Amino acid sequence: MVWSTIWRIIVVPIAFIISGLISLFVLFTLGLERITHAFHQAPMDEPDTVVAVFDLVTQGAILASGITILPAILVVIVGEVARIRSAVYYIFGGGLALVAVPVLAQVGTIGVMWPSPAVWQVFATAGFAGGFVYWLLAGRRA
């Protein structure tokens, strides 16, 4: 009993970090594809395009802030405390946790602008991948 608890204390943070890295990889690759398509449609010599690039970098810095990790931690804590072993819980929970990131990134701003559906798709897909990896590593033995 004690050894299994110690094992869970070790495995859960490691699985969370690995699943976060997988989510980041999926988010980066899918997001890079969307950004590439958007830049090829707009000429780079327009001032609006340069402003859009700076806005993209600013949004990336906001997304990297600590508040955006809270939904994912909440999904993991609820799953571990309730001993949920369902893959569906972790996959959908990861998707919902990452879909909440664009909303949480706008907390404290004056005007709230909802992102395009492509942004929601990219974040949800990355969350699904991260949730699945977490379930594979730690969730199925909760």
Residues 40-68: what's their mean pLDDT? 65
Report H helices in 1-142: 2-41, 47-63, 70-81, 87-105, 117-137
**Integer Cα distance of 3 and 98 in angstroms:** 33
Residues 36-45: what's their mean pLDDT? 64
Q: What is the pTM of this model?
A: 0.77
pLDDT of residue 69: 80
Tell me the domain boundaries of the chain.
2-141
Structural contact between residues 69 and 24, judged by C-beta atoms closer than 8 angstroms: no
